Amino acid sequence: MLNDESKKLMKIEKYLHKRVIGQNNAVKSISDALRRSRAGLKDPSKPIGSFLFMGPTGVGKTELAKALSEFMFDDELNMIRVDMSEYVEKHSVSRLIGSPPGYVGFDEGGQLTESVRRRPYRVILFDEIEKAHPDVFNILLQILDDGRLTDGQGRTVDFTNTIIIMTSNLITADNMTNNFGFLQDLSDQEAVKQRSSIDQVLKKSFRPEFINRIDEIIVFEKLTKDELKQISDLIIKDIQKRLDEKGIEIHLSDSAKELLIAEGYDEEFGARPLND
C-alpha cells in the first residue's frame, strides 16, 4: 500500500462522518475492513471489500455507500446502484450480464458488466438484496468468489477493483425496537443475544454459502433525536448552497428546526422524509 493511500485510509472515518451522521459502529467496521484489504491482507483475486448493510429504511445505508464511493474513487457518481426489486424474475439475470448470442439485446451488453468493464473502479450497491431471484444470487456468488464475471458476449469482466455493498431492510424499525435496541446501549449478554437474533434473520433469508462470502455484515442503528438535528442541519446547508446562486438567504430558528424534525421524521422511513 502506498504511503499516500495509507495516510488517506487513516482518515476514512473522519471523512465518512462528514456525510453520515451517527452510525459509528457501521463507519468503524467498514473503515477497518477497507484498511485490512488495502494492507494486503485480502485475496487480490476478489473484490476490494464486500458488505451487507442491514437496518431500517432512512438510517444512512445508501448515504454511506455514496460517501465511500466519493472517498475511494473521488466521485459518488462512481457508484452503480442496482435496485434488486427489479430482478425478481429468472430472466432478469440477462439484464445484468447481457443476453447470449441470438437473443434480443445481445449487442447492448449487460447493465452491470458493461458499467464495470468501462469503469472498473466502482462501488456497486445492490439495494434490497433479499428481493433478488436465486439466479441473481448465483451471479453475486461468482463476483464474491472469483472477482470476475463472464458477460453474454463471452468477455471476462474484472471486479477486483470494486467494492460490493448490499443493503437489506429485513431488520425493520419495529424489530430493532422490540428485539434489538441500540447497539451502544447493549450489555455483553444482550449483544450476544442480538447477534443470535440477527443470525436467525440471515439464515431464514440467505443461503449459507452467500453469507460466508461476505466480508462484513453491518447493522445500522435507529437515529437519535440529536442525530436527526445534525441531518437537518446538513440538509439546510445543502439547500442554502443552491439558494446562494440565486442570491437568496434562509434563516431557521431552533423552534423551526424542531418542527422540521418532528414533521419530517417517520418511524418507518427514518430521516428520508426530511428531504421532502
User: Rounded CA gap, 95 and 97, in Å?
Assistant: 6
Domain that holds residue 51: 3-222
How far is Cα 43 from Cα 49, in angstroms, rounded to an integer? 10
Task: Judge whether residue 220 has pLDDT over 50.
Answer: yes
Q: What is the pLDDT of residues 266-275, one digit of tens each?
A: 655 566 656 6
Tell me, yes or no, whether 203 and 72 share the same domain: yes
Task: Report residue 205's pLDDT band, with 50, 70 and 90 as the boundaries.
Answer: confident
pLDDT score of 231: 79
pLDDT (0 to 100) of residue 182:
45
pLDDT band at 258 (very low <50, low <70, confident <90, very high): confident
| pLDDT greater than 50 at residue 98 | yes
| Identity at 146, one-letter amino acid code | D
Q: What is the pLDDT of residue 213?
A: 92
> Each residue of 14-73: pLDDT tens digit?
999 988 888 888 899 899 888 888 777 778 899 999 999 998 888 889 999 999 999 988
Same domain? For 231 and 150 the reply is: no
The CATH number of whichever domain residue 265 belongs to comes to 1.10.8.60
The model carries a pTM of 0.81
**Claim to verify: residue 17 and residue 73 sit in the same structural domain:** yes
> Per-residue b/e over 94-116, b at no fewer than 16 CB within 10 Å?
bbbbbbeeeeeeeeebbbbbbbb
- Claim to verify: residue 65 and residue 21 sit in the same structural domain: yes
Q: Is the pLDDT of residue 186 over 80?
A: no
Based on the structure, what is the number of domains in the chain?
A: 2
Nearest to 212 by CA among 220, 203, 204: 203
